[in-house]
A and B are shown apart, each in its own frame.
Chain A
C-alpha cells in the first residue's frame, strides 16, 4: 500500500514538473513578450526598458530556472496587471473556485447516484432509456449556453437568483448547477453500469438466497461495490471540474481562479497564466492520487502495488 502511494507520488511530481515546463513554454509562444507587455503605443526604447525590468533580456533557460526555482517555494512573481504578487492573487481566488467545485460535485453526486441506481434496477425499461437519453442530452448541451438560459429563467423571469457576480451564497447556486451538469452524465452512467454489474454478481444471488430484503440487498451489498469506481472517479471529476470552471466563472463573473486565468490571458499577464495552469494541474494530480488511495482503501484487492 505504501509502495503504491510512493510510486504514484513520484509520478505525480514528475508530471507536475513537466506541466511546469510546458506552462513556461506556453507563455513564450507569442514571440516577444516585452512587446506585448509594453502595449501597442510603446516606442522601441519603452520595449527595451520593459525587457530589462522584467528580466526578459536574459537567456530563456536562465528565465526558466529562475521561475521554476522560485515557484517551488510558492513564489510565482508579480502580476503585471494587478500590482500584487501572483501567490496572493491565487490565494484570494482559490477558495471561490474550490467552493464552486465542491458545490458542483455534491449536486452532481446527489443527482447522478440515485438516477444511476434507478436506471440499473429498471434496466431496459422506459425509465432506463429516459435516464440514458437525459445523460446524452446533458453531454450535448454547452455549459456556457445552459448558464445563459438559467440566467434568463432563474435570474430574469423568476428573479430568484442574482445573475452574476461574487459575494453571497446565492451567487454560487447557478454556477454550481451548471458545473454539476458537466459531471452528471459520466457519473450517472458509471453508477448505472456498476450497479448492473453488482446486481448480476454471485454475492447478490447468495444474499437473495438467504432471503434478505430487497432494500438491504440493494443498499448494503450492491451499492457498496458499485460505489467504488464512482467515489474514485468523483475525485478525478472534481479535478476536471476545477479546470473546466473557467468558462462558467467567466460567464457568471464569479471571481475564482478560472476567472483570474481568463482575465490574465486577456491582459497578457503571463506570470499569472503560468501559475494558474500549474495550480490547476497540481490540484488534478493531487486528486487523482487521492482517488488511487481511496480505491485501494475501498477495494483491498488493489492494495498490492
Chain B
C-alpha cells in the first residue's frame, strides 16, 4: 500500500536536499546567535525603553535617512517609541514563541509518531488518522478563531500553535522510528530484558533525535511566521508588547509615507526565519553526509 499523499505533503523538501553549502550553515548560525544575543541582553544595551511614548517625536526616520533624531538609531514609531528598543524586544517575543511552540508541538508530535511507528497496526492507524485530520484543518483560521474567542495573550498563542504544528514532528518521528525499530541494538535491548518504555526512550529516541532536530528548526521558523501573521491581524500578542508582526500592523497606516516603519520589522522577521532555515538545511546536510559514510 502506498502512503497517503497528504502525509508526505508538508515536507517535500526532505526528498531533495538543497545544497547551499557550509557557508549557509555558518551564516544561519551567526544570524540565530545574533538575534538570540539581542533578545537576551539587547534591552540592557539600548538606552531607550520600548514602551515610553514621546508624542513630540513621532515617526522620526532611521539613521540612514534625512531628518533623523539623535538617540533614535532606527527612528521612532507612530507614538514616538524608540524603534530599535522595540525591535530588540520583539526578537525576544519571536524567539520565545518559536522555542515554546516547538517544545509543545514536539512533545505531542514525537509521542504520537514514535508510538505509531513502533507499535504499528491499530496504534499506527490511529496516529495516521490524527495526522491526516490535523493536516486538513486550516491552521491560520483555527488559530485566529481560538485567539479571537478566548482573548489574546502570549501563552494562548503558544498553546494554540503548539496544538496545531505537531504534524511534521509526528510524520518524521513515525517514519524514522519504523526505520530503526528493527535494528540490532533494539533486538539486543529486547533480549537483555529491557522494558518497552526503556527501549522507546533510551534506544529509539536518541537514534531519531537528529532528524527531529531538523524538523524543530522548520517548525520554529513556521511558528515565528505564524505568530507574526496572527499579531499582524490583531489576534496574537496584545499591544503594547512589540511583536514584529504587530509592529508591521501598527506601521501599516503610515507605510505609504514612511515605508521604513514596515521595512525594519519585516526584514528582521525574514532574516531571522532565513537564519533558522539555513541552520536546518545545514543540519540536514550533515545528516546526509553522515549517512553516506
Nearest-Cβ distance from residue A134 to partner chain B, whole angstroms: 11
Residues of chain B contacted by A196 (CB below 8 angstroms): 16
- CB–CB A140/B221 < 8 A: yes
- CB–CB B19/A29 < 8 A: no
Nearest-Cβ distance from residue A188 to partner chain B, whole angstroms: 10
Write the chain B residue with the least CB distance to A133. B20
Residues of chain A contacted by B13 (CB below 8 angstroms): 185-186, 189-190
- Interface positions of A from 263 to 280, Cβ below 8 Å from B: 265-266, 268, 270, 273, 276-277, 280
Cβ-based interface call for B259 (8 A):
yes
Q: A15-B132, A15-B133, A277-B145 are in contact. Are A144 and B229 (CB under 8 A)?
A: yes
Per-residue B-contact encoding for A164-191, CB less than 8 Å = 1, 0 else:
0000000000000000000001110110
- Interface positions of A from 250 to 291, Cβ below 8 Å from B: 250, 258, 261-262, 265-266, 268, 270, 273, 276-277, 280-281, 284-285, 288, 291
Per-residue A-contact encoding for B134-156, CB less than 8 Å = 1, 0 else:
01111111101110111000000
Cβ-based interface call for A297 (8 A):
no
Max chain B C-beta neighbours (<10 A), residue from A19, A145, A192: A145
Nearest-Cβ distance from residue B151 to partner chain A, whole angstroms: 9
Cα–Cα distance between A151 and B21 once the two chains are bound (Å): 35
Cβ-based interface call for A6 (8 A):
no
**Interface hit among A41-49, A51-59, A212-220, A239-247:** A239-247
Q: Interface residue count for A (Cβ, 8 Å)?
A: 76
Q: A27-B145, A288-B4 are in contact. Are A137 and B274 (CB under 8 A)?
A: yes
Q: A189-B12, A292-B4 are in contact. Are A244 and B150 (CB under 8 A)?
A: no
- CB–CB A14/B16 < 8 A: no
Q: A132-B18, A190-B15, A284-B135 are in contact. Are A266 and B248 (CB under 8 A)?
A: no
Cβ-based interface call for A194 (8 A):
yes
Cα–Cα distance between A305 and B271 once the two chains are bound (Å): 45
Write the chain A residue with the least CB distance to B130. A18
Cα–Cα distance between A196 and B266 once the two chains are bound (Å): 34
- CB–CB B145/A265 < 8 A: yes
Cα–Cα distance between A18 and B18 once the two chains are bound (Å): 36
Residues of chain A contacted by B255 (CB below 8 angstroms): 148, 151-152
Cα–Cα distance between A288 and B142 once the two chains are bound (Å): 20
Residue pairs across A and B with CB atoms within 8 Å: the count is 190
**Interface hit among A60-68, A81-89, A201-209, A229-237:** A229-237
18 more A-B contacts (CB under 8 A) besides A27-B145, A193-B15, A229-B15? Answer: A18-B129, A129-B20, A136-B18, A142-B228, A142-B266, A144-B245, A145-B248, A145-B262, A148-B255, A189-B18, A193-B16, A240-B9, A244-B138, A258-B141, A277-B138, A277-B141, A284-B136, A292-B5
Q: Interface residue count for B (Cβ, 8 Å)?
A: 55
Cβ-based interface call for B177 (8 A):
no
**CB-defined A-B contacts under 8 Å, sample of 21:** A11-B129, A11-B132, A15-B136, A27-B149, A129-B21, A139-B274, A141-B266, A142-B228, A142-B245, A143-B229, A148-B248, A189-B16, A190-B12, A197-B16, A236-B6, A240-B9, A244-B139, A261-B145, A265-B149, A281-B136, A291-B5
Residues of chain B contacted by A189 (CB below 8 angstroms): 12-13, 16, 18
Q: A265-B148, A284-B135 are in contact. Are A247 and B270 (CB under 8 A)?
A: no
**Chain A interface (Cβ within 8 Å of chain B)?**
8, 11, 14-16, 18-19, 22, 26-27, 29-30, 36, 124, 128-129, 132-133, 135-137, 139-145, 148-149, 151-152, 156, 185-187, 189-190, 192-194, 196-197, 229, 232-233, 236-237, 239-240, 242-244, 246-247, 250, 258, 261-262, 265-266, 268, 270, 273, 276-277, 280-281, 284-285, 288, 291-292, 295, 302, 305
Cβ-based interface call for B252 (8 A):
yes
